[in-house]
Amino acid sequence: MEQSQSKPVFPAGVYGITAAKFSADRSNLEVVRQMIAGGIRLIQYREKRPHKSFAEMLDECRAIRQLTREAGVVFIVNDYPDIAQLVDADGVHVGQDDFPVAEVRRLIGPNKLIGLSTHGPEQAAAAVASGADYLGVGPIFSTQTKEDVCAPVGLGYLDHVARTCPLPFVAIGGIKEHNLHQVLAHGAKTVCLVTEIVGAADIAATARRLQAACI
């Protein structure tokens, strides 16, 4: 298996995430294909058991890795460093209750990105100290996209991270086209809009419009 030789650059703009539940019966592969057509430069695969088996997730990630590699798009796998390794993804994103960053680093090596979700200043400081490459900051607003999500952290925490964090970060959670300008005005350079993109009638056109607003 071919392995990446250098750590990818974390891009500004829209951070795409798969969400089969909200994708209007379109496959994750088709959604990713349209995201790429819309100019998104970073895509995270986020699906979980029991909604999908490990075999299904591995097959989808292999196909998405092929698409993203051909397009020069950064590909991140959520939660599963083993799947990320098997498909030679560009990195892994984990939450506060998942494998610690140091353990993920042992599994995937020095040349992959590791993102860590954070919900407050102490977690942000700990993420920097842990060796994470980028932070997830959120949920900024209320969201129903993710199960067992914590309460919204609001724009105040985003202000704190933008002002003090030396690492790149992605703002996430309840972000829609109508409130995107607020998030950008508070210092976010990379933003995630999940249902706004995967549920759009024309994913490519929506992604293109949102990407243009961010950069």
Residue from 33, 65, 105, 146 carrying the catalytic annotation:
146
Residue from 46, 65, 105, 112 carrying the catalytic annotation:
46
E strands of 138-191, at which residues? Answer: 169-171, 190-191
The answer for residues whose C-beta is within 8 angstroms of residue 74's C-beta and 6 or more apart is: 8, 9, 10, 11, 41, 42, 43, 68, 90, 91, 113
Domain ranges of the chain: 13-214
H/E stretch holding 118 reads strand 113-118
Residue whose C-alpha is closest to residue 187's, from 12, 15, 39, 44: 12
Catalytic residue status for 46: yes
- State the Rg of the chain over Cα: 16
What is the reported pTM?
0.95
pLDDT tens for each residue of 127-183: 999 999 999 999 999 987 766 678 999 999 999 999 999 999 999 999 999 999 999
Per-position DSSP letters for 26-73, written without gaps between them: --HHHHHHHHHHTT--EEEE---TTTS-HHHHHHHHHHHHHHHHHHT-
pLDDT tens for each residue of 168-198: 999 999 999 999 999 999 999 999 999 999 9
Q: How far apart are CA 215 and CA 191, in angstroms?
A: 11
**Is residue 159 within 8 Å of 169, Cβ to Cβ?**
no
Catalytic residue status for 146: yes
CATH of domain 13-214: 3.20.20.70
